Amino acid sequence: MEALRIYTEKPYHLQGEVTISGAKNAVLPAIAASLLTAEKVQLTNVPMVKDVQTMLTLMKKLGAEYDLNDKTLNIQVKVVRSPEAPYKLVRAMRASILVLGPLLARKGKAIVALPGGCAIGSRPVDLHISGLQKLGAEISIEHGYIIAEARRLKGAEIEFEKKTVTGTENLVMAACLARGETVLKNCALEPEVSDLCQLLVKMGAVIDGIGEETIRIKGVKELGPAEHQIIPDRIEAGTFLVASALTAGNLILRGVEPAHLEAIINKLLISGAKIEKLDRNSLRIIGGEEIKPQDIVTAPYPGFPTDMQAQFMVLMTQANGTSIITETIFDRRFAHANELIRLGANIEIQGDKAIIKGKTPLSGAEVMATDLRASACLVLAGLVASGQTTINDIEHLDRGYEKIEEKLRALGVKIERLENNNNNNLGVKK
């Protein structure tokens, strides 16, 4: 297992510029969408993160040919060789469920392992399944696999009981090749859903209501080639914004989409940071000397993103006063609180609420990452914890952050990637 070690002899004030990578949660559905055509799809601004590799391993198994270099992916599925997404890949990345809709639409058959739960809670896919059944798919669950078949999907009106990002994405992709019109209601409004729709329209899909709660898709016989630039990762951007707010830094972020960051920016302004837009895709954030407490409730977009909850929890440990974070999306997304407590934070969990009493000095220690965003939170904690903080199991981090230690080192942080050797001493990775 690899680890990251952060040395904090004196408080950091992050200075300089960081370029934000493409969005992991936009590129994964975009890759899945290439199943919908036999033509070539080219994606640019692709983040070089582990989840992209996992998705491409799955796509290759399904019959895709691709080449990926320097953030440009050319991918083509001339023929679907297999309709099966095996458990070991789905377990490694639950976003593999995103091949379900496209496989059904393209091939008329899909065998996808049930994703199961993960560190942040039970992750059902019942809304994906019921939506596809309304499009005419015959779906059974056998031995932990979703077995789906449909000669040709038929358009229908579907209302999601609750907002689901990948559920909306799966149904939009399936509806593109269904016969007739599909109306999807109570769709997720995340920018990653809209980015997928933009790609599908470039491929020849007929979609109205992009970015709205009701999306109408007129099915077409087939889709064609496209080139598409992936939107910036708003969660990576949010993570670096918090890093600057946390360390009274002076940080410029390049390659961002400020319109996707409003909920995050609003909360950072309340905490005392100063943020200015430098140009269309750049922001400067200056962290305040004092961090003010505040209450946060996570919500579907455009509300405060659950994927930023852990990062904000660290910021609130350094605020002068009490903050309450309410997690409304996932049922077990506070695992990082226990690790922060080990660093010296004062956090009490009461059901879906975390009560954080600040300001508490943090001192470095060995900590364990439990999921992708919890890992990011521990890296942020390492920036303000005195002494040395070692974050183990950073495989989680590598799933969604591109070269985070290089980006932080360029901002003045003393950070090293360590690989465990057999007697468990961490040797610095050459």
* Count of beta carbons in the 10 Å neighbourhood of residue 146: 23
Q: Are 343 and 362 in contact (CB under 8 A)?
A: yes
Using CB under 6 A, pick the residue from 8, 54, 182, 306 that binds ligand EPZ. Answer: 306
Among 58, 77, 165, 217, which residue sits at the site for ligand EPZ (rule: CB under 6 A)?
165
In angstroms, how far is CA 424 from the centroid of its own chain? 31
Residue 25 lies near ligand EPZ (rule: CB under 6 A): yes
Count of CB atoms within 10 A of residue 117's CB? 13
Q: How far apart are CA 85 and CA 388, in angstroms?
A: 41
Report the residue from 22, 102, 155, 167 that binds ligand EPZ according to the rule CB under 6 A: 167
Question: Of these, 307, 327, 339, 402, which contacts ligand EPZ (CB under 6 A)?
Answer: 307
Q: Is 267 in the site for ligand EPZ (CB under 6 A)?
A: no
Specify the long-range contacts of residues 203-206, CB closer than 8 Å, at least 24 apart.
203/33, 203/36, 203/37, 203/41, 203/176, 205/176
Q: Does 96 participate in binding ligand EPZ (rule CB under 6 A)? A: no
71 Ramachandran zone, left/alpha/beta (phi>0; psi -120 to 50): left
Give yes or no for residue 104 binding ligand EPZ (CB under 6 A). no
Span interacting with ligand EPZ, options 117-125, 310-318, 386-394, 408-416, rule CB under 6 A = 117-125
Smallest distance from ligand EPZ to CB 243, Å: 17
101 binds ligand EPZ (CB under 6 A): no
Residue 119 CB coordination number (10 Å):
16
Is 125 a binder of ligand EPZ (CB under 6 A)? yes
Binding to ligand EPZ, residues 404-423 (CB under 6 A): none
Q: Smallest distance, Å, CB 307 to ligand EPZ?
A: 5
Between the two ends of the chain, the Cα-to-Cα distance in Å is 15
Separation between Cα atoms, residue 340 and residue 353, nearest integer Å: 16
Which span sits near ligand EPZ by CB under 6 A: 15-23, 106-114, 124-132, 147-155? 124-132
Alpha helices in 117-187 (DSSP H): 126-134, 165-175
Whats the size of the chain, residue-wise? 430
50 near ligand EPZ, rule: CB under 6 A: no
Stretch that binds ligand EPZ, among 101-109, 160-168, 251-259, 315-323 (CB under 6 A): 160-168
Binder of ligand EPZ out of 372, 384, 385, 426 (CB under 6 A)? 372
Residue 8 vs 311, nearer CB to ligand EPZ = 311
Is 118 in the active site?
yes
Q: Distance (Å, rounded) from C-alpha 413 to C-alpha 407?
A: 9
Closest residue by Cα to residue 230 from 207, 202, 209, 252: 202
141 lies in the site for ligand EPZ, by CB under 6 A = no
Pair of tokens at residue 374: 């919890």
**Peptide bond before 29: cis, by omega within 30 degrees of 0?**
no
For the record, the structure tokens of 225 come out as 């080639």
- The least distance separating ligand EPZ from the CB of residue 198, rounded to whole angstroms, comes to 16
Q: Given candidates 8, 37, 54, 166, which one binds ligand EPZ under the rule CB under 6 A?
A: 166
- Interface characters, 173-192, with ligand EPZ (x: CB under 6 A): ---------------x---x
Question: What is the spatial distance between Cα 329 and Cα 319, in angstroms, rounded to a whole number?
Answer: 24
What is the nearest approach in angstroms of ligand EPZ to the Cβ of residue 24?
6
Tokens 């599908």, located at residue: 200
116 binds ligand EPZ (CB under 6 A): no
Give the active site residues: 118
Which parts of this chain interact with ligand EPZ (CB under 6 A)?
Answer: 24-25, 28, 95, 123-128, 162, 164-167, 188, 192, 306-307, 329-330, 372-373, 400
